[in-house]
Amino acid sequence: MSTTAPPAASPLPATGASAARAPGSRLRHWLPPLLAGLLLLVTAAGVLWLNWRGEVSHRMEVQVADTLWVKQSLEFQLRHHEETLRELATGWRQGRVGPTEFAAKARSMLATNHELVRIALYDGDGQAVAIEETRALDAGAIETELSTYARRRGSELYAGPNDIGGQQLLTLAVPAVGKREGTLVLEASLDGLLQEVVPWWFARNNEVALANSFGDPLAVRRATSPARGNYRHQTPLEMPGVALTLVTDSTEDTPRLLPSLMSASVVGLSLTLLASLVLLWRDNTRRADAERRLSEQLSFRQAMDNSLMTGLRARDLSGRVTYVNPAFCKMVGYAPEELLGRSWPMPYHDPERDRVSRARFAQVLDGTLPASEFESVFVHRDGRRVHVLIHEAPLIDARGRRTGWMSSVHDITERRRVEELSRQQQEKLQATARLVTMGEVASTLSHELNQPLSAITAYATGCLNLVPEDEGDGEFSLRSTLEKIQRQAARAGQIIRSVHDFVRRREPAKTRCRIEEVIDATLPLVQMQARKLGIAVETRIAAELPTIDADPVMLEQVLLNLARNAMEAMAPMPAPRRKLEIAAEPRDAGIELAVVDHGPGIAPADAERLFTPFFSTKAEGMGMGLNICRTAIEFHRGRIWHEATAGGGTTFRFTLQP
């Protein structure tokens, strides 16, 4: 039997308290959402404004940072010229540099530094000794006056900029004070400095200028488009005697308030939200409670299913798997359908831990598995082992009964790998500390042994002075014996000085040196180990090798490291093959050195990783020696490589530039 709903009663006007309560009740119900919508609008507007201000501040910070970088590059270039002139001044004062040497060096500087237009050498009377310039300039009066002030001051001094020959020139004077006085004067073009030092990527979007103390531009390098003045920064250059200011002006415009479609979308979505609140006025009340309960359930399920850091596994008291989350499935490599409902044995159990796994499964069946945390190992589907940390907790129903166990599983494989790597690094650091300690001991011994060796040399010299010149001619005569004592003491002192120079801490310092002297300084240390291992040392040094600009101690370290590796490689070889060769010959404009051994050679599998940090073919090696050698050679603008030696063995070669 069907029933028909009665017709709806016609609405009646509200009376009394209910009529007064209805509008106020609805207003109170919707006031929080409306306020929230308005707050969202205000927040969106504030975020857009803050983003705009942040972009403006960021661009200004970038402009300041780039300007300071350009300033530092300009000052570095000028300091480089100061240092070069200072070296020439020292050579002039000591008599090593004359007009010919100065002219050669000046021409080289003009050729490699296009901002330089003139370099002059004046004697102590202010007379020009030699002048090199790219074009004729009438700068003698300015340079003579600046030379006088620089010599009185006793240090370098700048002047200008001066308009000479239609261009703004900055003048630098470096005095040579001593027995042989003189002054070296350099003229640099401001336009040339901007063209040579300012990088293209900065000049493309910025107008760069050098201005005087009044702000008047003296030299300008203009960008591809006009500067806008929105991002402008100026900073003074630090030069004694001259007040110059670096001014940069970006071509970029200020960012728009709505820089992208995303920002406009935020504003549109905010307005749409307010409209949606009005349209959903009547529907929201009935749906609010249902949505709240549904949201709680969904949040709970999503928190479990979407956990990426922790794997979850639930088992009942019979040991069957009742739930696994995606993280657990990813950890073991099996789909949920392959695990749900399964009991012992599980496909991801490690056979090597079978006894422990069986004991824990028996506790699950008995219901006596303690709520605890323990480590275990799973076997992934692809065969790799996964170290895990498992925490077991009982599952309790609404009546307080235990219905199973919930396991939270954390993958700690990476942690174990990092711990193992940390342990290995710690061992290597300890080995490094021992090496440092040995270096300090060697330095201390070399310092302490210098005094007795000096005493032995002095006593031997004193005895030689007391022995007549014609006292015996035999090999074992007194005078011959004293001379041998003197030579051996001097040789021991040289070895100790080499050890001290090798181990002492110092900053790299390039000087002009000859490679023959570097090899001679290294040979005493090499020959000590060579005699102990029964290895013959042979050197082949070509005649008239060029001098190089290098750090001798760093090159000694490279040679000693390569020679030590070569001797250790030849130690197990037969005596005829134990021969170490050190060769040096000219190559292009520089020098090529070779350290040749006749050992077993390098395996092809190790050749590509030979210069990799912490890779070593020796059981007790740290793997840093060849990497340090490569760094030292690259510091000297050279390169290092290895090749097979004819007849067996390895040859390490490296080049050095003059």
89 part of a folded domain: yes
Provide the CATH number for the domain around residue 83. 3.30.450.350
Does 5 have pLDDT greater than 50? no
Amino acid at 455: A
Q: What pLDDT score does 444 carry?
A: 73
Which one of 194, 223, 253 terminates a domain? Answer: 253
DSSP letters for 289-314: HHHHHHHHHHHHHHHHHT-SS-EEEE
The CA-CA-CA angle for residues 587, 589, 590, to 5°, reads 60
pTM of structure: 0.37
Within a domain: residue 343?
A: yes
Task: Looking at the structure, tell me whether residues 156 and 189 fall in a common domain.
Answer: yes
- State the pLDDT at residue 470: 65
Answer whether 127's CB lies under 8 Å from 155's CB: no
Alpha helices, DSSP H, located in 467-545: 478-503, 515-533
pLDDT attached to residue 475: 56
Q: How confident is the model at residue 20 (pLDDT cuts 50, 70, 90)?
A: very low
Residue 268 covered by a domain:
no
Backbone angles phi, psi at 407, to 5 degrees: -110, 130
In residues, how long is the chain?
658
Token representation of residue 569: 């490689």
The 10s digit of each residue's pLDDT in 503-524 is 555 556 788 999 999 998 888 8
Is 282 part of a structural domain of the chain?
A: no
Rounded Cα gap, residues 633 and 320, in angstroms: 65
Q: Which two tokens stand for residue 188?
A: 């640099």
Identify whether 43 is part of a domain.
no
Report the candidate in 529, 518, 536 with the shortest Cα–Cα distance to residue 654: 518
pLDDT value of position 30: 62
pLDDT of res. 516: 92
Please indicate, yes or no, whether residues 365 and 447 belong to a single structural domain of this protein.
Answer: no
Span 569-596, pLDDT tens digits:
898 888 888 999 999 999 888 999 999 9
According to DSSP H, which parts of 113-189 are helical? 140-153
Q: Per-residue confidence at 109, pLDDT binned at 50, 70, 90?
A: confident
- Residue 272 inside a domain? The answer is no
Q: Which domain holds residue 442?
A: 413-505
Where does 177-227 show beta strands of DSSP type E? 182-189, 206-211, 217-221
CB 489 within 8 A of CB 460: yes
What is the rounded average pLDDT for all residues in the chain? 78
Whether 26 maps to a domain, the answer reads no
**Greater pLDDT, 242 or 514:** 514
Question: What confidence tier does 617 reach under pLDDT thresholds 50, 70, 90?
Answer: low
Tell me the helix, strand and coil percentages in the chain, rounded to 5.
Answer: 50, 20, 30
Boundary (domain end) residue, out of 237, 253, 269: 253
- Interior angle at CA 29, CA 25 and CA 30, nearest 5: 120
| CATH value at residue 553 | 3.30.565.10
Say yes or no: 240 and 109 in one domain.
Answer: yes
In terms of DSSP bridges, do strands 511-513 and 548-550 run parallel, antiparallel, or are they unpaired? antiparallel
From 395, 411, 427, give the residue that closes a domain: 411
Per-residue pLDDT band at 17 (split at 50, 70, 90): very low
**Residue 448's CATH number:** 1.10.287.130
* Cβ atoms < 10 Å from Cβ of 602: 16
| Pair (427, 549) in one structural domain | no
% of the chain with per-residue pLDDT over 90: 7
Please say whether the beta carbons of 559 and 519 come within 8 A: yes
pLDDT in tens, 496-508: 665 566 555 555 6
What domain count does the chain have? 4
Is residue 233 domain-shared with residue 348, that is, in the same domain? no
Q: Is the pLDDT higher at 458 or at 500?
A: 458
